[in-house]
Amino acid sequence: MNSYSFFILPFVPLTSYRIAMSYPYQIKSFEVYQSTYQQSIEDPAGFWAGIAEHFTWRKKWHTALEWNFTEPNVKWFQGGKMNITENCLDRHLAERGEQAAIIWEPNQPNEAARTLTYRELHEQVCQFAQVLRNNGVRKGDRVCIYMGMIPELAIAVLACARIGAIHSVVFGGFSAQSISDRLQDAQAAFIVTCDGAFRGAKDIPLKNIIDDALIGYDGIERVIVCARTNTPVSMLKGRDVWWEEEMNKVAESGTTVNFAEEMDAEDPLFILYTSGSTGKPKGVVHACGGYMVYANYTFVNVFQYQTGQIHFCTADIGWITGHSYILYGPLSAGATTLMFEGIPTWPDAGRFWDIIDKYRVNIFYTAPTAIRSLMGFGKEPLQGKDLSSLQVLGTVGEPINEEAWHWYDENVGKKKCPIVDTWWQTETGGCLISNLAGITPAKPSWATLPLPGVQLLLVDENGNEKTAVGDETIAGNLCIKAPWPSILRTTYGDHERCRQNYFATYPGLYFTGDGALRDKDGFYRITGRVDDVLNVSGHRIGTAEVENAINMHAGVVESAVVGFPHAIKGQGIYAFVIYQGSHDPHAHGSDDLIRNDILQTVTRVIGPIAKPDKIQLVSGLPKTRSGKIMRRILRKIAEGETENLGDTTTLLDPGVVEEIMKGKL
Ligand code: WTA
């Protein structure tokens, strides 16, 4: 030992120690990617068991994988006992207890930021876990979390996982009605919320929305309310309690138990509601073990995370991206994750660049819609912002157009940062197709190659596999042959719906609902949904859901909703509505008033995120003789097509098409 080190060591501040977390499964070259991929499809069970060895298990699994896609039945790491929070928190304490786990940047730039070290986060999670217990929450209970992007949201999520309660986070943009539907579906008896949430210049009254949601639902035992905005709230005696008070009680009594519930690898970890092509949103269920392994594996490989880096994912924790790449992926990898409360354009369009500059962010992961919206502000907001810390950029949620890709590459990454285009879904738990930053090739607007363990194929309408002849690029519906660890296990309370939705279209395959191209190198480009699901600003919305909401308005007779290309949102919502309200006072005002009434109804039923961009009032809809609405024609009209509407001869009343085209907005 160097005899001087004794004198040198004390001068090094403790927090600067960053003991590298080792990720022996981090792929470091294209060749290794290829051999790893090969190995993963030859022996999926053996491959993922090898990865799972790197986590903390209380008891090892006896069967790595059991599956069939007919029921479907997928089980990973059966017999394994664990708790995901021990992997996200406890196992880091010895080596990186003083390292920042979460850096939180508030909505108001002048408010103090907060940092929670791994030790502090662990402490708060254990404390809130005790609060949940004290309030009656037990393993397996569903807890609805409806909060803004504050550290307490992360704490609430992890505390649920700690005691084995199933969290169901609901995005703050959903209405009371949507929350109520989700509470009923999940049979949730507990809610964690805030008085309100800051979003740019707005202040969203979360607790009041919860109170509205609870008017028709009496299954609630406890609502825990965290103070954030100091918006006035009603606190019902016997039902509502304050987060702060409950935490203090636990702190004062010294009753916090660090114990984490022992979970079976296949026990549900969370439910996340997402839209499909029919009916109400469904509760996608993820299991503890497989989700943990896959979220971690993809975080480490796609972003090529290195110890000490600061990872900034701009998603909201109300969506799957926030679950996997703000919380579980980064924390299980001992990373520093940055959580941001605000919006990209407030107080100005330089907000993201300011944050990157302020914290020396290394990895920046956002949505194409945000990039396109910021592009619209030109280069001025980037001026004077030091983005030199950036090493990796990423996008998610919708196809990225080449123009936005190049703008991102040139202006944000300064042409020195690999961009990962990550394709995945709420149902997949983690990225399934993406380049690995700086390791496998990128191709603008192509998600490129599958992650290890992901066996893709393209099929035609009849489910026949499409194969390329020579170097041609082929198109088809994107399906998956075999399970990866974080595939959804079921849709909550309705397994048949899960089978119908994902495994019945093409028997024996998981169908993604997306169309894709594959080129001669095996690279994939996602072309968009082929079902009746829209992707608006990266948010999934079913056309049927929006139609149901519009149809709830008293004067509406019928409606049809389709998507249309939107320069910033990717897709916009176009609604064709038959309105009849001769005695309705608003019908005697302007059509705008009727349109606003309809918007108001959609906001009430689903939330502001589902508001149509265009509402065209029509006297009829194009229908076949059997009464089916011909959406294909409406889609073309909404897209601005004036000829080539396809065959209209089978229409009941071909004249209606002409009228609709004349009135196009
Ligand atoms: C779309 C978000 C193109 C796709 C993680 C998918 C994408 C749906 C990409 C899932 C991408 C997601 N390129 N399209 N990189 N990523 N999508 O459930 O249509 O909110 O089916 O999950 O978003 O949306 P979800």
**C-alpha to C-alpha distance for 523 and 2, rounded to whole angstroms:** 52
Of 57-66, 236-245, 444-453, 616-625, the one with minimum mean pLDDT is 616-625
Residue 295 has which token pair? 């979220």
**C-alpha to C-alpha distance for 149 and 249, rounded to whole angstroms:** 25
Atom of ligand 1 nearest to the CA of 433: 15
* pLDDT value of position 2: 41
pLDDT in tens, 399-439: 999 999 999 999 999 999 999 999 999 999 999 999 999 99
| Residue closest by Cα to atom 13 of ligand 1 | 399
User: Which of the four pLDDT bands, split at 50, 70 and 90, describes residue 258?
Assistant: confident
Residue predicted with more confidence, 216 or 632: 632
Whether pLDDT at 11 is above 80: no
* pLDDT value of position 18: 59
**Ramachandran angles phi, psi of 39, nearest 5°:** -60, -40
* pLDDT value of position 1: 38
pLDDT in tens, 49-81: 999 999 999 999 999 999 999 999 999 999 999
Testing ligand 1's pocket by substitution, the residue of 174, 291, 328, 423 carrying the most ligand atoms inside 8 A of its CB is: 423
* pLDDT value of position 21: 75
Q: How far is CA 188 from the centre of its chain?
A: 21
pLDDT in tens, 173-220: 999 999 999 999 999 999 999 999 999 999 999 999 999 999 989 899
Testing ligand 1's pocket by substitution, the residue of 328, 398, 530, 569 carrying the most ligand atoms inside 8 A of its CB is: 398
Residue predicted with more confidence, 591 or 235: 235
Whether pLDDT at 581 is above 80: no
**C-alpha to C-alpha distance for 170 and 172, rounded to whole angstroms:** 6
pLDDT in tens, 91-130: 999 999 999 999 999 999 999 999 999 999 999 999 999 9
- CB within 8 Å of 123: residues ≥ 6 apart: 256
User: Which of the four pLDDT bands, split at 50, 70 and 90, describes residue 590?
Assistant: confident
Whether pLDDT at 13 is above 90: no
Whether pLDDT at 17 is above 90: no
Q: How far is CA 42 from the centre of its chain?
A: 30
In this structure, the dihedral spanned by the alpha carbons of residues 49, 52, 57 and 63, taken in order and rounded to 10 degrees, is: -20
Atom of ligand 1 nearest to the CA of 422: 15
User: Which of the four pLDDT bands, split at 50, 70 and 90, describes residue 19?
Assistant: low
**Is the separation of the CB atoms in 269 and 401 below 8 Å?**
no
pTM of the model: 0.95
pLDDT in tens, 456-467: 999 999 999 999
* pLDDT value of position 14: 40
User: Which of the four pLDDT bands, split at 50, 70 and 90, describes residue 226?
Assistant: very high
* pLDDT value of position 100: 98
Mean pLDDT of 14-22: 59
Q: Is 287 helix (H, G, I), strand (E, B) or coil?
A: strand
Q: Torsion-angle region of residue 279: left (phi > 0), alpha (psi -120 to 50) or beta?
A: left
Distance 198 CA to ligand 1 centre (A): 27
